[in-house]
Amino acid sequence: MRILIVEDEQKLAQSLAQGLRNEGHQVDVSYTGEEGFFLATDADYDLILLDIMLPQRSGLEILEKLRSQGNNVPVLILSAKDTLADRVMGLNQGADDYLVKPFAFSELIARINAVTRRGGTEALVVLEYLELHLDLLTRSVTRAGTTIDLTRREFDLLEYVLRHQGHIVSRAMLAKDVWQQPNRATPLDNVIDVHITRLRQKLDAQFAYPLIHTIRGVGFVLERRDP
């Protein structure tokens, strides 16, 4: 994908660009609103990551101008402002999503995927990864042919990490998407950790290699890692 990052904090912009390039995207970076707007109108992007507080021209202004020109490129707002009013304003201006700083890179990836896939999601019935098999209809899980009994929460958790297979999911993402909690509270982190531990117990203990890994300080990932 061709992605434009408009962000005046250079360190952040650079690290985001690097991360996205590592994911295989083609990334342009602009540090000012003026240049960002110029690039956005000039070139054809698949996605724009837009900061709100920018020098010369605010992110909201750019967004409004783009939308009024009939440009429907998906826009993901990155902002340190996190009140409901800020979010509503961003989304009303035509943003596709709103991500509050600081955010985990893994969450950005997930949101990017959600935004760019929007409208064209095929309804999956079965999720698979190597020998792991999850059936959404019967809500059953097997690994290498062995049925694994999971509680409802464990099943939802596994479904979520399976959908993001190979990508890290943060606790904030799990809290929001699996536990449906808008605010991330400390107790919930502990709850998530307990569930992950239990899931890992059931999923990995008797098998050849572990599938769920904890990335300290970041989150969890479902993938096969060579020892």
Partner 1 sequence: MNYSIRLRLTLWYSLAMLVTLIIFSTISFNLVKRNLYSQVDKSLSASADKLFDAVSDGISRLAEIDRSGSIHYFRITQHGWIIYQSQSWDSLEIANIKIEKGTRNGTSMEVGTFRLHNTKKLFPMIEGAQAVTVSVAQNIDQLETSLQRLKRVFSWGLPLVFLTAISIGYFLAGRSLSPLRDITRKAKHINADRLDQRIAVKQPQDEIGDLAQALNLGFERLEQAFFRLQCFTADASHELRTPLAVIRNVGELGLQSKADTEAKNETISSMLEEVDRLEQLVENLLLLARADTGEPMQGKQQINIGELLTEVVECLGVLAEEKQQILILQNTSRVILDVHKDYLQRALFNVLDNAIRYTPEKGDIQVSLILKSTYFDICIRDSGPGIPIRESENIFKRFYRLDIARSRETGGSGLGLALARWGVEINGGQIFHQESSVGNGCEFIIRFEIGPAGHKL
- Decide: is 201 part of the binding site for partner 1 (CB under 8 A): no
**Residue 24 or residue 152: which is nearer to partner 1 going by CB?**
152
Q: What are phi and psi of 191, to 5 degrees?
A: -60, -45
- Decide: is 183 part of the binding site for partner 1 (CB under 8 A): yes
Shortest distance, CB of residue 24 to partner 1, whole angstroms? 23
CA–CA distance, 220 with 225 (Å, rounded to integer): 13
Among the listed residues 131, 135, 158, 156, the one whose alpha carbon sits nearest the alpha carbon of residue 144: 131
- Binding segment (CB under 8 A) for partner 1, from list 24-32, 64-72, 118-126, 189-197: 189-197
Structural contact between residues 155 and 168, judged by C-beta atoms closer than 8 angstroms: no
Cβ count near 24 (within 10 Å): 7
Q: How many residues bind partner 1 (CB under 8 A)?
A: 23
Shortest distance, CB of residue 184 to partner 1, whole angstroms? 7
**Residue 47 or residue 161: which is nearer to partner 1 going by CB?**
161
Structural contact between residues 220 and 212, judged by C-beta atoms closer than 8 angstroms: yes
Segment 27 to 56, residues that bind partner 1, using CB under 8 A: none
Q: What are phi and psi of 187, to 5 degrees?
A: -55, -35
Segment 89 to 118, residues that bind partner 1, using CB under 8 A: 102
**Residue 115 or residue 188: which is nearer to partner 1 going by CB?**
188
Q: What are phi and psi of 126, to 5 degrees?
A: -130, 130
Sites of contact with partner 1 (CB under 8 A): 82-84, 102, 171, 179, 181-188, 190-191, 194-195, 198, 215-218
